[in-house]
Structure 1
Amino acid sequence: MKLLNTAVAVGLSLTMLGLTGCGEEELRNSSYYRENPDELKSTLQKCRAESDKGNVLEGNMKKNCSTANTVARNKMMAAIRN
């Protein structure tokens, strides 16, 4: 019985551990945003909205916002140069 209780506790712990990352946004790289301008625009809007609400960006969302901002800035600089 003790072994069964231990197995159930371990199983529940692993399930909870697995679920904690489910809400995490998928991490995107700069080439993804260059190839998907609609996603770039959408991500920039989400980042701005969260920032305007006073929310602190964390995890993949923070990284995606940084990457999207860099891609947008590089696109603007390229447009200025041309």
Structure 2
Amino acid sequence: MTIERSVVIYFTDKTSVAFSYPQQFDPSLVVQKINQVMDQAYFTVEAEGTLYIYPRDNIKSIQICPAPDKLPDTVVKGATIIES
């Protein structure tokens, strides 16, 4: 069964963009990959033959679904949204 994966990028100007994507790498490397992405000045996505480059300074938050099984120790796990 293929798991549907998506990322929603919320920008500081209150707009957003969403992408679906296939699995990118071995799930055991998730923590390492998250750290690599956070160290970059840009969040980049290739979709349908186009490269999108988003400056991190313009990003308010990033939502990744489903959450990876392995997460950094600093992540609060098992939370429930009660208000947003």
Query: What is the TM-score with the length of structure 1 in the denominator?
Result: 0.29
Q: Which has the higher helix share?
A: 1
Query: What is the TM-score with the length of structure 2 in the denominator?
Result: 0.29
Report the structure number with the largest CA radius of gyration: 1
Q: Which has the higher strand share?
A: 2
